[in-house]
Amino acid sequence: MQLILSTNTATKCPNNLIVVPMRLKVKNLQGEIRLTDYCAKHFPILGSRSAAKKAINTGNVFVNNRRSFETDLVSNGDVVVLKKPKKKNVRVEIPLDVDIVYQDEHLIVANKPAGIAVNGNRKKTLENIIAQIATKSLQTDVLDQPVAAHRIDVPTKGLVILAKTKSALININKAFQNNQVKKFYVAVVHGKVSRGGRIESPINGKSAITEYESLTVVPSKVFGHLSMLRLALITGRTHQLRIHLKEKGHLIVGDKQYAEQRTILGKGLFLCSCELSFTHPKTKKEIVIKIDPPRRFERLLKREGNRFEKR
């Protein structure tokens, strides 16, 4: 894997340093406003409503000297304090197969192994592992540890963007919200998919769009056919690719959670996030990062094709 290290030697500048805790007195409001909306707008270090909600729910926002809740309302005269979250000191065993594909002062793109979560309430996550091996940013708004800007499923392997600084996290989050980050996957699925297409099927009542392109189709003695697909994730619903492909009759190989048919178990999920393209939040240059799918994808297709020929 290619490792790109930044040569930026910027030093901290007190005039630009974002300081927490931050204390604000509410003013110039017409009536009451939700605390989440107020924090998202008036604390730039948070940058979004979801980040404000997280800060409130983790006990880092106080209103008039009491811990707040996301349902709280504030009005003129209230005093809102944003406290700095406690720094995580997590030591974990680092798997040898965690690769940093791209790194600079602002961002990291890592190749997440299958079988671990991106983040969450556990020690062995991609965030905690990367925190042990990433180079520290010298930017003034550096985060305590790199934070993932998006997630991929636990059994899915592939590229994940993590931010080193608060400003990078805010900008990348906005890019995801505006569908400005292009995400491409490779999967091996059951059935014969000889052409490309588009799936527009809501998931949990929300719009969900997937585009697919057929790369390889092989006959299979056991499964009829297997196909390798390149998938474009236009929206980002939970399990979107797995649900959409199953609805089309093309279960992803190894997906035991959605399997209602025979599939290959014990080899993992044959789904990999292989390409990301986005505008760099600081340099504004277009970044395109690609990795090859795991070798087992090609090995499976070759094995099934050979078995069919020998039948």
pLDDT at 263: 93
Average pLDDT, the chain: 87
Q: Are residues 210 and 300 in the same domain?
A: yes
- For residue 89, tell me if it sits in a domain: no
User: Choosing from 78, 104, 153, 255, which is the catalytic residue?
Assistant: 153
- Report the pLDDT averaged over residues 21-38: 90
Helix (H) or strand (E) holding 227: strand 224-233
Q: Which of 155, 244, 180 shows the shortest CA–CA distance to 208?
A: 244
C-alpha to C-alpha distance for 118 and 129, rounded to whole angstroms: 10
Of 82, 107, 129, the position where a domain reaches its end is: 82
CATH classification of the domain holding 44:
3.10.290.10
The pLDDT tens digits for 229-254 are 999 999 989 999 999 999 999 999 99
Residue range 130-164, pLDDT digits in tens: 998 999 999 988 998 999 999 999 999 999 999 99
104 and 195 in a single domain? The answer is no
Cβ atoms within 10 Å of 303's Cβ, excluding its own:
14
Q: Are residues 195 and 301 in the same domain?
A: yes
**Burial classification of residue 58, based on how many CB atoms lie within 10 Å of its CB (0-12 exposed, 13-18 middle, 19 or more buried):** exposed
Q: Is residue 3 situated within a structural domain?
A: no
141 in the same domain as 58: no
Between the alpha carbon of residue 288 and those of residues 104, 270, 275, 276, the distances in Å are 14, 23, 7, 6
How many domains, in total, are found in the chain? 3
Kindly report the CATH number assigned to the domain that includes residue 112: 3.30.2350.10
Tell me which of 177, 199, 224 is where a domain ends.
Answer: 177
Please, where are the H alpha helices in the chain?
35-42, 49-57, 126-133, 166-177, 240-247, 295-309
Q: Are residues 171 and 268 in the same domain?
A: no
For residue range 194-228, list pLDDT tens digits in order.
899 999 999 999 999 999 999 999 999 999 999 99
Q: Catalytic annotation on 153?
A: yes
Give the pLDDT score at 90.
53
Residue 163 lies in domain: 99-177
At which residue do the structure tokens 């993992």 appear? 268
DSSP state of 14: G
Q: What is the mean pLDDT of residues 43-67?
A: 85
Is there a contact between 137 and 125 (Cβ–Cβ < 8 Å)? no
The values of phi and psi at residue 131, to 5°, are -60, -25
pLDDT category at 123 given cuts 50, 70, 90 is: confident
The reply to whether 228 and 301 lie within a common domain is yes
Q: What is the C-alpha to C-alpha distance for residues 56 and 36, in angstroms, rounded to an integer?
A: 8
